[in-house]
Structure 1
Amino acid sequence: MLRPERPRQQASIVLKSGMVSAEIGRLCQYVFSVNGRRLFDGGHMLLNRRTFTAMTAVSVATAAVLPSQVRAAGRSSFKAIAFDGFPIIDPRPVFARVEEIFPGKGAELSALWRTRQFEYGWLRTLGGRYTDFWRVTEDALAFAAKALKIELLAEQRDRLMQTYLELKAWPDVGPALRQLRDAGLRMVFLSNLTAPMLDAAIKNSGLEGLLEPHLSTDRVQAFKPDARAYQMGVDAFGLPKEEIVFAAFAGWDVAGAKWFGYPTFWVNRANAAVEELGVASDGMGSGLNDLVAFATGR
C-alpha cells in the first residue's frame, strides 16, 4: 500500500528524549524584542535574502496545499473562530521581565522555562495528573532556575508570575476582532491558559464583550493537543468542525487542531518553521489582519 505523500514543509522539528522543541528557542529569541529594542539576538532573527526567499516559498507552498473542501465550501461558510491564547495575547513582556530580573541570563532561562511549561502540560495530560496552567507555569519556572543554577527567590518568582496577569493584546488585535464581529463571526478563546489569565488580558486590553465565555482546558482537565480540548469549541458553538476556524500561535497547535479536524489558520508571528507532523495549516500569516482575510474571504 502506497503511503500518502507528506506535504512539503520548511525545516523540521526534532523531539529528543527531553522533548525540547526547536520552536521554543525560536520563540524566545523573537519575544526578546520589546518596544522595538532587541534584547536578545542569537543571530537567527536577522533576515537576509536567502531567509526571506525561504519564508516566501513557505507561504506560497502553504497556499498551494489548501484543502479542496475548504476551497469548495468558500471561506464565507466559516461561522466561528476559536483562538489559542497567544494570537491575541502578546507574551513578550514576560520574557523581558526575566531579563530585567536576571540580566544576561534571561534568554537561557526563558527558553528552558517555556519549554518545560509545555512539556509539563503534555506529560500531565498523558499521565492523567492534570493541574492548571498557572501551576504548570510556576513549576516550570522553578525547574528552569534550578537546572541553570539560578537562585530564584519567592519574591522574584511571584513578580514573574504576576507579569502573566499584566499582559495585553498585540496592537492589531482590537481592530481585527471588531472586523470579525461585524462580519458575523462568533469568537472564543480555546486555550491552555486559565480563565483568570485570559480574563486579565481581555480587561487589560479593553476587549470586553468581543469574545464568548472562555474555553480553558481546565474545563476538560486536558491540555491541547488532546482531542478533548479541541472538542470544547464544537460543543460551545454548536457547530460542525468545518465551520469553525482554529487560530493557532504555535506549530504544534496547528497540527493538533488539524488532527482534530478544524480548518486551521496559523498566526505565525514568530516566523517559526513548519512542523514535520504530516499536516499543514489551511492558511498562514504574520498577524490577525491575515486571519480576517482568510476567515471572511476578503
Structure 2
Amino acid sequence: MDNTDKNRTYALGFDVYGTLVDPLALAEPLAALVGEHAIPFAALWRTKQLEFSFRRGLMRRYVDFDVCTRQALLYTQQALRCALPESDQARLLNAYLRLPVFSEVVASLAALKQQGHRLMAFSNGVEASIRALLANAGVLPHLEDVVSVDDLRTFKPDPAVYAYLAQRTGRAAGDTWLISSNAWDVIGAKAAGLRAVWVKRQPDFVFDPWDIEPDVIVSQLDELPTRFAARLRAN
C-alpha cells in the first residue's frame, strides 16, 4: 500500500469483549447453574474481571487476563453465595472462549476490510485465548492480526498499550482508531493520542464526563463503513 492509499484508509483496533462479542451472554449457561442469579452473576463477574485488571495494572502486579477472569469468577460466587463445583467453574471458563458475536459484526468487518482499512483485534485478553474466541465466533478470518496487552504485561488503559497498537499497525497515532463499547477504553485511547469510536450499544449508556469525547459515536458497527467513508471524503 503506497502513501496515497494510506491516506484513504485507517488502521482500526477493535476491542473484543462488549464490542465484538457479548460477555453478558454468559447469563444463559449460568441460568442452569444459579437460576435467578444468572444476570447479576454475569454482570458482577464482568465488573470484577475489569476491576482486577485495572488494579493489577496500577499495582504492577501483573497476571494475565485469563487469571483475572478466573479470580473474578471466584469472587462472584462468594459475593452472591452461589458456590459452584470445580467442574461447573471449568465449563463457565470454557464458555468464555465461545461467547456469541453481536449480530452485525461479521458483515461490518467484511465491509470495512473491503474499503481497505487494516483491521485488528486489540484486547486485554491473552492472544491465544482471543484467537480461539474469535475463531469460534467466526470473526478471526476478517482480522489481519490480534494485538494483546499481554505482550507488555500491563492492561488498558495504560497509555503504553495504545502506543503499542499504533506501533503494530505501522500508522501514526492520529491514523489509528480504537473501536470500543467501553467508555473508559475510548478515553484511554484518546488520552494517548489515538482516535476513537464509542459503540453505544444501549441508548441509556452514559459516557464518562471527563472532558474527553469520542471522535465518532455509533450504536452498532454496521454504521462504521459509511461514517469512515464520509470522514475520508471530507479530508
Instruction: Calculate the TM-score normalised by the size of structure 2.
Output: 0.89
- Where does residue 209 of structure 2 map in the other structure? 276
- Where does residue 4 of structure 2 map in the other structure? none
- Where does residue 12 of structure 2 map in the other structure? 81
The structure with higher relative contact order (CA 8 Å, sep 6+) is: 1
- Where does residue 154 of structure 2 map in the other structure? 222
Q: Following TM superposition, by how much is the alpha carbon of 1:77 offset from its aligned partner in structure 2, in angstroms? A: 4.6
Q: Could you tell me which amino acid in structure 2 is paired with residue 80 of structure 1?
A: A
Distance 1:78 1:279 in 2: 24
Distance 2:219 2:60 in 1: 35
- Where does residue 293 of structure 1 map in the other structure? 226
Aligned pairs for 1:185-200 (under 5 A) are: 185-200=117-132
Q: Deviations over 1:146-185 (max 9, x none)?
A: 1222212111211111111112322211111111111110
Q: Deviations over 1:182-214 (max 9, x none)?
A: 111001011112212321232223334321221
Instruction: Calculate the TM-score normalised by the size of structure 1.
Output: 0.71
- Where does residue 108 of structure 2 map in the other structure? 176
Equivalent pair of 1:168/1:201 in contact (CA under 8 Å): no
Q: Deviations over 1:79-111 (max 9, x none)?
A: 210110132123243122222310011123223
Distance 1:228 1:106 in 2: 36
Equivalent pair of 1:190/1:232 in contact (CA under 8 Å): no
Equivalent pair of 2:178/2:195 in contact (CA under 8 Å): yes
Q: Following TM superposition, by how much is the alpha carbon of 1:289 offset from its aligned partner in structure 2, in angstroms? A: 1.2
> 1:264 is paired with a residue of what secondary structure?
strand
Q: Could you tell me which amino acid in structure 1 is paired with residue 200 of structure 2?
A: N
Distance 2:60 2:140 in 1: 34
Rg larger in structure: 1
Aligned pairs for 1:1-298 (under 5 A) are: 77-86=8-17, 87-271=19-203, 272-297=205-230
Equivalent pair of 2:126/2:150 in contact (CA under 8 Å): yes
Give every structure 1 segment of 4 or more consecutive aligned residues whose post-TM-superposition deviation is greater than 3 Å: none
Q: Could you tell me which amino acid in structure 1 is paired with residue 176 of structure 2?
A: I
Q: Following TM superposition, by how much is the alpha carbon of 1:249 offset from its aligned partner in structure 2, in angstroms? A: 1.3
Equivalent pair of 2:13/2:122 in contact (CA under 8 Å): yes
Q: Could you tell me which amino acid in structure 2 is paired with residue 263 of structure 1?
A: R
Distance 1:170 1:112 in 2: 21
Distance 2:55 2:154 in 1: 10
Identity of aligned residues (%): 29
| Alpha-carbon distance change, 142 to 288 in structure 1, aligned in 2, over 3 angstroms | same
Q: Could you tell me which amino acid in structure 1 is paired with residue 117 of structure 2?
A: L
Q: Could you tell me which amino acid in structure 2 is paired with residue 160 of structure 1?
A: L
> 2:179 is paired with a residue of what secondary structure?
strand
Distance 1:293 1:230 in 2: 25
Q: Could you tell me which amino acid in structure 1 is paired with residue 146 of structure 2?
A: H
Equivalent pair of 1:245/1:295 in contact (CA under 8 Å): no
Distance 1:161 1:232 in 2: 28
Equivalent pair of 1:167/1:200 in contact (CA under 8 Å): no
Distance 1:205 1:137 in 2: 19
Where do 5+ consecutive residues of structure 2 fail to align?
A: 1-6
CA RMSD of the aligned region, Å? 1.7
Equivalent pair of 1:142/1:152 in contact (CA under 8 Å): no
